[in-house]
Structure 1
């Protein structure tokens, strides 16, 4: 499921539309992309997969309790963010999210092995998430500076000289 999702995003027109809509919906709409349709086509399969997961859970457990899935919200948000996905959208990959999932799952496995009480698991996951964000911040800043140096045409009024403005 990971690889078809990642392959379907990159080389096809729909993948570019999804990335443009996630990155800047207003600019995508100005470019002629039907952002509402793209969002529906991207989110509907996710809803179907979530429904299928609920049916599988019901079949395995025989019943669904109100507190089933408590604690998964932190994991569901932290894993892709550790893998490089931005909260603002438009950047990230399925491979990066899978790496984030592996890192997140290593923490609850390591907590009992280190002799730490299991109640500290969520704190360790959240702390790892914040540490990962702080470690990635200088790299993002350096990448922005590098792209600004390499492409001055992207900066507003970069090609206008004083004589052109008069």
Structure 2
């Protein structure tokens, strides 16, 4: 009876872990051959799909980047971001949710860029001051802030060329 109660308790606890993991994201369950061990693997594809990648803008629908940018975004590691819109380099934190990017406070270099690039930093600050809707389709990252849509391509240099 003690063994049955312990097994039932383990089964219930495992079930709650599996349900909790499934509620937090994609998950898969692996059960060992003796059926006494269950391992839950939770996949966080949303943030991992951006980590280690660099994207350069190819088009902006809405208010253009002063000096034509381009907007370059790099996700060097989980929760970190580096950006430039053609003038200063900005670095900081980013929270990646399934459909939203939310930027924390960004630190930047302090170069005085000549016109028309002198407005690029203000454009970038305005673009990143609220959560952006994002989607990734192959190498194409699309960012939207409401009135603006920016399309970026992965792995291109600052001139937008592969």
TM-score normalized by structure 2? Answer: 0.20
Q: Which has the higher strand share?
A: 2
